[in-house]
Chains A and B, each alone.
Chain A
Amino acid sequence: MKRRDFIKSSAALPAIAAMSASASAQAKADRPSVISYRQVGRTDMRISDISCGAGRLPSASLVLRAIDRGINYFDTAPDYGRSEEYIGEALARMKQRDKVYIASKFCDQVGFEAGVSHLQKGRGKADYKAAVEASLKRLKTDYLDVAFVHAMGELKDYERERARLLDEDMLAAAQELKQEGKVRYLAVSSHGPYNMEQLMMAAVESGHFDLVMMAFNFMKFPHVPDVLKEAQTRGVGVIAMKTLAGARAMDLDAKGAVFEHAAFKWVLGHPEVSGLVVTMKRVRDIDLYLQASGQAMTTADRDILDRYTARFGGDYCRTGCSDCEVACPAGVSIASILRYQMYFDQYEDEKRAMQSYARLDDNASACLDCFVETCVDACPNRLPVSLKLRAAHASLTFADYA
């Protein structure tokens, strides 16, 4: 049975069952669908090479549509708005829980706040277990396929983050949850901005984690290939995110290539990568992204990535590098600020970006009167860091109403 047909055959999905005769009769076979599934390390999961990042999920119907197109891995979290509820609604309607893999995070259902909403060392075993129980309730399921220790590297302090990564209470909670059948695999994720590659390597080497998920794209994080090799050696799965390198609007002369497809193919061209997750918030996203499933890079793909790099490479901060921060005499949280600015500009997630920025202690207000600009000299990619920080401050700041 084709992946896209299995939902239609489910009598337990009332809406689909009611419509299946007419809908399936007219359905075109050439709609973009997943055509490649990959093994995730030593787990028993084979996931769609292009999977659903559910951070801005608009409805349960989008989940069902994605499943119908063959997507079988959904990456959600308690602090992704109503994402878990929507997936839960879709699971309840589908009633074929074992056909999809659900990954969620150890975190509270509150707005994102670095060092707070993602459970920190000291919260204790009970809190970790309670977070999963709450997710299960929202997801209307009795187990998670994957539970993530999430957003590793969101704080500058490497030792503090490493302690969270290897927190004995978290590991004990994960072990108990596995024994109780509520979590199948333990994982860790990082999109930086601090020490991403070191933390991911520490996770792989620890032997505690079944898979890692990290930022990885054609703009290259120099040490990610080392992590990939080590993960493959140890049977740890790797899922890539932030694969679109900022996802700038562009008018590149594409010669028939599509930027998103090229970026996905580049990532999936690494055999150590089990798959990628990309935010799907529109019906159109599914149609667009899945055209790259199972496809190999072409000359035109390489060309469009080169053009993108030439156009935007000098403006793209590779999260994970913190050379500029080390050089900054004011200790400004440069990587975080530039990441929030990316959320504001490229992801159009203005509110979250501004809220996150407001919570930073070391924001870019110090840059307004700075004439030293050691950050610019320190940047290995020669980004105009100080200019970017001032612009970010202007975008992300509410004026003081007083």
Chain B
Amino acid sequence: MATPAPESPTAPFGVRLALIALLPLLALALYLDGQYYDPDLVELRPRQSVIGPDSALFPEGLAGLQRAGAVRRFTEDNLYEYINGHAEYFISAGFRGLAVGEYGSVGDGQPALVVNLYDLGEALNAFGVLVDEAGEQEAVDIGAMGFRSGQGLSFIQGRFYVQMSLFDDALTAETFGAALARNLAGQVGEQDLAFHFPDLGVVTTTRFVKEYYRGLEFLNAVLERGFERDGHEIQAFLARGTLQEISALVANFEAFFHEDEMPYRRIDRDGLNFYLVDDPYEGEWFFVPLGERLIGVYTSMEPALTAQIAAFAHGRGSASNP
């Protein structure tokens, strides 16, 4: 005998009517809620450049030349108007704003010097752009670091990357570069301490690696530094990020070690959490998260070395300048 189909329960007519009547009210509530702008949810305004006023960045007089015309300013939205084709590069490098100033001799209609001043948000970004742009050019001692570029030069000072183009053979780029760097140093300070490595020895090399440091796809925008220490060359790297980003970086390392079956262990020493890695291809190395930085060192975890890093982390040790 066939089993009768269960009777589906039916809500009373009054309840069904009330539910239908609620629909317009629900729609109205959703509409009204959508009219409120929650700044924490989405940032609709373009990022503001933190570049200061014209007079602060571009003095009226610069080593005998006078500022000519108004300073032009560019944001992420219109940077392409000035450097079409290269805007994306700067934006991906942390671009916050560009100010362009021109200098010339009084009465001369043509600029003798054009200065492009890029605000890249932080010193590490500025350093990355400088290294990327420098190629094999001759280094100059201007700002924190600089190089000659044709008849001009480029240098970094704090979070700024500065390009100077000269259009008068009689002028010397270094003269104007030094004057501008001094002016900028007065505005943003000589150095960004967060940019520094602990002093692990005599600095032998410094370079910026944009992506895939040592082949690891999660390790990008890294500053690498070589040190001579006790007659040996060691290499170290510095990665920067927010606390969450550094935490994610540590998690990525651990996931990689697990996947690659690479032995590692966490060692608490000097108040810090070191990770010692038994890497069959790199040799023994270690890294340590330090707040918004992560430092890795490709050598054994000697107590003297970790003590130096700890002293640096706790503000008692010295830093190696760029």
Q: DSSP class of A's interface residues: helix, strand, loop or mixed?
A: helix
B165 contacts chain A at the CB level, 8 A cutoff: yes
Asked whether any CB of chain A lies closer than 8 Å to the CB of B84, the reply is yes
> Is B84 a contact of A28 with CB atoms below 8 Å?
no
Task: Report yes or no: B84 in contact with A15, Cβ–Cβ below 8 A.
Answer: no
Say yes or no for B49: interface residue by CB 8 A criterion.
no
Chain B, range 226-273, C-beta contacts under 8 Å to A: 256, 260-263
| Docked-complex contact A283 and B216, CB < 8 angstroms | yes
List the B side residues contacting A58 at CB < 8 Å: 209, 212-215
Cα(A64)–Cα(B165), bound, Å: 45
Residue from A18, A26, A394 in contact with B283 in the complex, judged by beta carbons closer than 8 Å:
A18
**In the complex the two chains form, is B263's CB within 8 Å of A401's CB?**
no
Query: Is residue A271 within 8 Å, beta carbon to beta carbon, of the partner chain?
Result: no
Tell me, yes or no, whether A234 is within 8 Å of chain B by CB.
Answer: no
In the assembled complex, which residues on chain B have CB atoms less than 8 Å from the CB atom of A65?
215, 281
Q: Does B89 contact A (CB under 8 A)?
A: yes
With beta carbons under 8 angstroms apart, the residue of B85, B116, B283 that contacts A14 is: B283
> A68 with B261: in contact, given A62-B215, A111-B136, A399-B85 (CB under 8 Å)?
no
Does A282 belong to the interface (CB within 8 Å)?
yes
A18 CA to B214 CA in the complex, in Å?
A: 20
A68 to B284, CA, bound (A): 18
Chain A residues lying within 8 Å of B305, measured Cβ to Cβ, are none
B85 touches A26 (CB 8 A): no
- Tell me the smallest distance from the CB of B177 to a CB of chain A, in Å: 15
Given A111-B135, A397-B85, answer yes or no on A282-B280 (Cβ-Cβ < 8 Å): no
- Do B165 and A402 touch (CB < 8 A)? yes
Whole-angstrom distance from the CB of B85 to the nearest CB of chain A? 4
Asked if A61 and B263 sit within 8 Å, CB to CB, the answer is no
* B215 cross-chain contacts in A, Cβ below 8 A: 58-59, 61-62, 65, 281-283, 285
Count of chain A to chain B residue pairs whose CB atoms are closer than 8 Å in the complex:
100
Find out whether the CB atom of B86 lies under 8 angstroms from the CB atom of A15: no
Instruction: Assess whether A377 is interfacial by the CB under 8 Å rule.
Output: no
Tell me, yes or no, whether B278 is within 8 Å of chain A by CB.
Answer: yes
Residues of B within 8 A of A326 (CB): none
- Contact residues of A between 108 and 163, Cβ < 8 Å to B: 110-111
Q: What residues on A are CB-neighbors of B212 within 8 Å?
A: 58, 281-282
Q: Is B304 an interface residue, CB under 8 A from the partner?
A: no
Taken together as a complex, chains A and B put the C-alpha atoms of A27 and B211 apart, in Å, by 27
Q: In chain B between 197 and 231, which residues have their CB closer than 8 angstroms to a CB of chain A?
A: 209, 211-217
Among candidates B89, B278, B280, residue contacting A8 with C-beta atoms closer than 8 Å: B280
Tell me which residues across on chain A come within 8 A of B213, comparing CB atoms.
58
The answer to whether A18 touches B284 (Cβ under 8 A) is yes
Min distance, Cβ A96 to any Cβ of chain B, angstroms: 15
Is B38 among interface residues, defined by CB-CB distance under 8 A? Answer: no
Which residues of A have CB within 8 Å of B132? 351
Contact across chains for B263 and A22 when beta carbons are under 8 A apart: yes
The 8 A CB mask of B287-300 against A (1 = contact, 0 = none) is 00000000000000
Q: Which of B111, B217, B262, B280 contacts A20 (CB 8 A)?
A: B280
Contact status A284-B85, CB under 8 Å: no
A227 at the interface (CB under 8 A from B): no
| CB within 8 Å of B: which A13-51 residues | 14-16, 18-20, 22-23, 26-28
**A90 CB, nearest partner CB in chain B, Å:** 9
**CB–CB B85/A395 < 8 A:** yes
Output the least CB separation between A165 and chain B (Å): 28
Q: How far is the CA of A197 from the CA of B124 in the complex (A)?
A: 46
Q: Is B33 an interface residue (CB 8 A)?
A: no
Q: Is A16's CB under 8 angstroms from B85's CB? A: no
Q: Within 8 Å of chain B (Cβ to Cβ): is A231?
A: no
| Contact code string A326-355 (vs B, CB < 8 Å = 1, else 0) | 000000000000000000000010110011
Any B CB within 8 A of the CB of A371: no
Residues of chain A within 8 A (CB-CB) of B216 are: 282-283
Q: Does B17 contact A (CB under 8 A)?
A: no
Instruction: State in angstroms the CA–CA spacing of A59 and B283 once bound together.
Output: 13
CB of A87 closer than 8 Å to a CB of B: no
Task: Report the minimal beta-carbon distance from A341 to chain B, rounded to whole angstroms.
Answer: 11
Within 169-221 of B, Cβ neighbours of A (below 8 Å) are at 209, 211-217
Q: Are A401 and B84 neighbours in the complex by a CB distance under 8 Å?
A: no
Query: Across the interface, do B282 and A61 meet the contact criterion of CB distance under 8 Å?
Result: yes
* B263 pairs with A19, CB closer than 8 A: yes
Residue B301 at the A interface, CB < 8 A?
no
B163 part of interface (Cβ distance < 8 Å):
yes
Task: Let me know if A203 is at the binding interface, CB within 8 A.
Answer: no
| A47 CA to B73 CA, complexed, in Å | 56
For residues 216 through 254 of chain A, which have their beta carbon under 8 Å from a beta carbon of chain B?
Answer: none
Asked whether A27 and B263 contact (CB < 8 A) given A61-B282, A282-B215, A283-B216, the answer is no
Contact flag A401-B116 (CB < 8 Å), given A281-B212, A282-B216: yes
Choose among B111, B114, B280 the residue that contacts A23 (Cβ–Cβ < 8 A). B280
Whether A19 and B114, one on each chain, are in contact in the complex, defined by CB atoms closer than 8 angstroms, is no
Measured between alpha carbons, how far is A91 from B278 in the docked complex, in Å? 20
Asked if B217 and A282 sit within 8 Å, CB to CB, the answer is yes
User: Could you tell me the distance in whole angstroms from the C-beta of A291 to the nearest C-beta in chain B?
Assistant: 15
Separation of A355 and B280 alpha carbons in the complex (Å): 38
Closest to B82 in A: A399
Contact between A394 and B84, CB atoms less than 8 A apart: yes
C-alpha gap A344/B78 in the complex (Å): 22
- The smallest beta-carbon distance between A254 and chain B, in angstroms, is 21
B167–A402 CB distance below 8 A: yes
When C-beta atoms are compared, the residue in chain B nearest to A64 turns out to be B281
Taking a contact as CB atoms under 8 Å apart, the answer to whether A15 and B262 are in contact is no
**Given the contacts A28-B261, A59-B214, A111-B135, A402 and B114 also touching, CB distance less than 8 Å:** yes
Q: Is the CB of A15 within 8 A of B282?
A: yes
Is the pair B217, A284 in contact by a Cβ cutoff of 8 Å? yes
Contacting A at CB under 8 A, from B86-124, are 86, 89, 111, 114, 116
Give Cα distance in the complex from A196 to B280, angstroms.
Answer: 42
Distance of A217 Cα from B109 Cα, bound (Å): 57
Is A102 interfacial (CB 8 A cutoff)? no
Q: Mark A57-71, 1 if CB is under 8 A from B, else 0.
A: 011011011001000
A-B contact list, 17 entries, CB within 8 Å = A15-B281, A15-B282, A15-B283, A19-B263, A19-B278, A22-B263, A23-B263, A58-B213, A58-B215, A59-B282, A61-B215, A111-B135, A111-B136, A283-B260, A354-B85, A394-B84, A397-B85
Using A285-B215, A399-B85, A401-B163 as known contacts, list a sample of 13 further A-B pairs with CB atoms less than 8 Å apart, ordered by residue number in A: A8-B280, A15-B281, A26-B261, A28-B261, A62-B215, A62-B281, A111-B135, A394-B85, A397-B85, A399-B84, A401-B114, A402-B114, A402-B165
6 shortest interchain CB distances as A-B pairs: A15-B283, A61-B281, A59-B214, A62-B215, A64-B281, A397-B85
